[in-house]
Amino acid sequence: MSRASIRKEKSFFTKTILPFLAEAQSLCYNQVVMNKTILVLNAGSSSLKFSLLDEKTHAAVISGAAERLGADDAFITIKFNGEKKQMPLAGNKDHTAAIAKLMDELDQRGLKSSIEAVGHRVLHGGAKLTKSMLIDQSVIDEIERCSDLGPLHNPANLKGIYAVQEVMPHIPQVAVFDTAFHQTMPAKAYRYAVPEEWYSKYHVRRYGFHGTSYQYVTRRAAELLGQAPEKTNLVIAHIGNGASVAAIKNGQSVDTSMGLTPLEGLVMGTRAGSLDPAIIPFMMKKLGKTVEEILHDLNHKSGLLGISGISNDHRTLEDTVANNKEGKERAQLALEMSSYRLAKYVAAMMVALPRVDALVFTAGIGEHAAGFRRDVVKNLEVFGYKVDDKLNNAMPGKNNKEGLISQADCPKILVISTNEELMIAEETEELVKK
């Protein structure tokens, strides 16, 4: 081919093909913008996670988090089109500032006008808020009344709600409660053996948490097993910094490890989990602390952190043990206590079911810590459970690979990537359309 011909083709490509591709890309982008979206918010005391989901495809259009809210170095991270952008927050550097900055970023990308509604993850709904609800003043008041049951989360969740009211006052908001999925538990599972007045007057009972995760994982597990959710029985372990386990009978929760608050149950990142309640007044006397201070220690200074003295991060403890670092013995004990406690609770959850179609691991540690899963299952070999090491070590793999990790001819064990944002978006969309 001559140089003249090459120049001619290059000119044609530059003047004709590239503009066409650019226009096509623009049309595709605008099509995404034209679709309605649901903004999902998960507000913590000093953080705000967000995800904007396309209403039709449920794909995340944009996501990210604001962190260190209230501090001078507060910042927000935006993930869009495969790129990550981190920016400092201005003004008060609080939840409202984070929402305002997010709205500016969405507006610049032509996405703000696509928001149909905002769905909030709210930890505790108490005895009255037993299902997802459109947010009005009465719902806000009830969430506030439940704050003593969820002191670490409900006030933060309200911050997110107030921030949206200030920045987007006309957008409908929906509260999706962590406790709602467990409303199907029978009284024998949710009641405590305490004086009747404690329950009838003060609503002291087991509520359970991680409900949106259990709801999604139940549906996904049924798909992988080729069964209808309403005919599926599971024991699901949601293991992250906060951790719980639940028994799912015919697609519904019938028991779970967390109780009146998220403190009960498993050994967690910084939470002690279940313990003898007499320890509280005992340590109050020994340390000269108030009940609030002792509860703070049980919520923030216990669990993996308290046992190891190193970290609440499971990965840090595994690295300490694997590389024989200082503190190995305590780190090893923390991991052993965590896996042993979970195995005991898994066995307890089986009592609530006519059969177990699968044991399921999900959430950060449950999805990614192959060694932890192996250790848990070793404690369950009496029930016939055995891990296939090759399958187990491959999870989650690329693209959040999920599926079986059990040996052939053994009871099924699954790893499933949870998707709480999707459940919140679906609940929000359904309520708004109604």
Residues involved in catalysis: 178
CA 122 vs. chain centroid, Å, equals: 11
Residue type, 129: L
Chain centre distance of CA 206: 20
Question: What is the DSSP secondary-structure string of 47-110?
Answer: -EEEEEEETTT--EEEEEEEESTTSTT-EEEEEETTEEEEEE--TT-SHHHHHHHHHHHHHHTT
What torsion, rounded to 10 degrees, do the Cα atoms 319, 321, 326, 330 define? 120
Taking alpha carbons only, the member of 119, 326, 342 closest to residue 246 is 342
The Cα-based distances of 81 to 103, 224, 421 in angstroms read 17, 29, 18
Amino acid at 308: S
Residues whose CB is less than 8 angstroms from the CB of residue 188 and which lie 6 or more positions away in sequence, other chains included: none
Interhelix angle 95-108/154-167, rounded to 10 degrees, is: 50
Phi (first) and psi of residue 82, to 5 degrees: 80, 0
Sheet with 234-239: strands ordered across: 252-256, 243-249, 234-239, 358-362, 413-415, 403-404
Q: Amino acid identity of 145?
A: R
Q: How do 403-404 and 413-415 pair as beta strands?
A: antiparallel
DSSP secondary structure string for all residues of 161-217: HHHHHHH-TTS-EEEEETTGGGGG--HHHH--SS-HHHHHTT--S-----HHHHHHH
Edge-to-edge strand list for the sheet holding 75-80? 83-88, 75-80, 60-67, 48-54, 37-43, 115-122, 173-177, 133-134
Q: At a CB cut-off of 8 Å and minimum separation 6, what does 278 contact?
A: none
Q: How does strand 115-122 pair with strand 173-177?
A: parallel
CA-closest candidate to residue 297, choices 156, 153, 289, 333: 289
Report how far residue 374's alpha carbon sits from residue 355's, in angstroms, rounded to the nearest whole number.
22
